[in-house]
Amino acid sequence: MTKLSRYNHFQPWKDGYRIAYNALSGALAVMTAEHYEAYLKIADKIATANGSYKPDEGEQELIKQLIYGKFAHSGEYDELESLKFTHNLNRYDRTALGLTVAPTMACNMACEYCYESSNARKMTPEVIEALLDFVDKRADHLHTVDICWYGGEPLLALDTIEDITQSLIELGDEKNFDYSATMISNGYLLTPEVVDKLVALRVKMVQVTIDGPAEMHNQKRPLKNGKESFATIIENLKHAVTKIAVGVRVNVDKSFTVETIRALLSDLKAAGLERRIGIYFGQLEPATKVCGSIADACYGNADFSDIEADYFQLLLDEGFRIEKLPSPVGVFCMAQRVNAFVIDPEGYFYRCYNYVGDKSHAAGNIKDGQVDYQNHNFKRLFDFNAFENTRCLDCEILPICMGGCPAQRVDRAQSEEDVCLSWKHNLQPMLSIIARSRQQKLQAAGKE
């Protein structure tokens, strides 16, 4: 018996074609009008056959392709139960340890929307030792250890990063786990010499924030000494992209326009970066009380999704890569994993990037040597489960969302509609953009 997936999406495209997308597998294909008509006939037969549908000879090849992309499946297969099982595997997996480590909360910038504390202290030797001991005690059961270096500006504590990394690499060799890292940096200190060090420290990707073209960025993200940062960051990225993967985040609020983004892309193209970086647009939001003053300048999810699609269309028109794809995920974020933690310079545990340094949201300290899974601040975000939420269970994009941000639900008490990811609102235009992007890649490859 054959069933069609509950996570199928079909939408018109150009020249009579249809874009076919399945949220459970992430499969994206372009269907001819003939194949789409055949699909509709199959769907009608399945709906009226009362479980006894069997494809005829002309339908068998299409059914085979549909099953390959998980647009269809055997009757014994329960998509929701399979998705729930995968979610729980990710939620309770103890073989992968994910740590977001802030070696310092100090920063060399004075961003207008920053929620970080002004604590300039670096991680002490005592906390470093506790962190290494924390990993060592779990190492016999680990397959991977991944660190995201965070802050503040983590490159202000590069010596601490070097010390911790060297110890973890040696521990990984001894205990047979793989070690890798990423970094979130403002990019100002990302000099060629520093990039070479990061490569040796197994940092595979750096995310750098650039908030608009030069004048706008320099206003939003000046150095603490009042000097401009844009030109130095761009110059640093020109070398960095030759050695390491670079993602550029643009924090979008209501001050941005299509023309603003176009001007930024022009700056990036002038630096030769258009085919060498991935760009995505972050939704600026008042995540904590500290940054509550920017609330009026922030978009809601639905409004942000509209302009996000416009900006991605502009990326494509200007020759940039499209990095954002609607891919299935096991969990929405680290807050839903038992083996993922944010650690500040004093060793405090947190469940969300936004709360680093705010001890009222801490869920214990790494110097205690163990995790209190019953701690209120651990459970507060961990306990939300999309499979216990009726709206999420019925949602056609559940596999790529998993209920959205737990902090928005729990700590900001946003409505069910407000916590839905932008995919809920802009999946159709984004699929068209992605399909066009892939078509351009194929055409370019054919010319080489």
**What's the number of CA atoms in the CB half-sphere (13 Å) around residue 69?**
20
pLDDT for residue 287: 56
Q: Helix count (H) and strand count (E) of the chain? A: 15, 13
Q: What is the DSSP track for 184-237?
A: EE-STT--HHHHHHHHHTTEEEEEEE--SSHHHHHHHS-BTTS---HHHHHHHH
Question: How far from 101 is each of 184, 341, 376, CA to CA, in Å?
Answer: 10, 8, 21
- Asked if residues 395 and 389 have their Cβ atoms less than 8 Å apart, the reply is no
* Structure tokens belonging to residue 126: 């005592």
pTM for the whole thing?
0.91
Q: Splitting the chain (448 residues) into consecutive groups of 10 residues, what average pLDDT does each group show?
A: 93 95 96 96 90 85 94 90 97 98 92 61 95 97 98 96 98 98 97 98 98 95 93 98 97 94 97 95 68 65 90 95 93 96 97 92 95 95 94 96 91 79 94 93 72
Q: Would you call 144 helix, strand, or coil by DSSP?
A: strand
* Structure tokens belonging to residue 100: 């977001």
* Structure tokens belonging to residue 170: 């040696």
Question: How far from 262 is each of 280, 281, 392, CA to CA, in Å?
Answer: 14, 13, 36
**C-alpha 287: how far from chain center:** 17
- Which long-range contacts (C-beta less than 8 Å, at least 24 apart) are formed by 57-64? 62/35, 62/38, 63/2
pLDDT for residue 291: 41
Residues 6+ apart with CB under 8 A from 435: 13, 19, 28, 30
Residue 180's beta-bridge partner residues? 146
pLDDT for residue 150: 96
* Structure tokens belonging to residue 45: 């037969």
- Asked if residues 12 and 18 have their Cβ atoms less than 8 Å apart, the reply is yes
CA-CA distance, 437 to 357, in Å (whole number)?
A: 41
Q: Where are the domains of the chain?
A: 2-77
pLDDT for residue 118: 54
Q: Choose among 331, 330, 317, 283: nearest CA to 303.
A: 283
Q: Is 92 exposed, middle or buried (0-12, 13-18, 19+ CB in 10 A)?
A: exposed
* Residue 151, preceding peptide bond in cis (omega within 30° of 0): no
- How long is the chain? 448
Count Cβ neighbours within 10 Å for each residue of 222-261 and write b for 16 or more, e otherwise.
bbeeeeebbebbbebbebbbeebebbbbbbbbeebeeebb
* Structure tokens belonging to residue 73: 């499946």
Q: Would you call 179 helix, strand, or coil by DSSP?
A: strand
pLDDT for residue 201: 98
CA-CA distance, 392 to 390, in Å (whole number)?
A: 5
Residue 15: Cβ within 10 Å count: 7
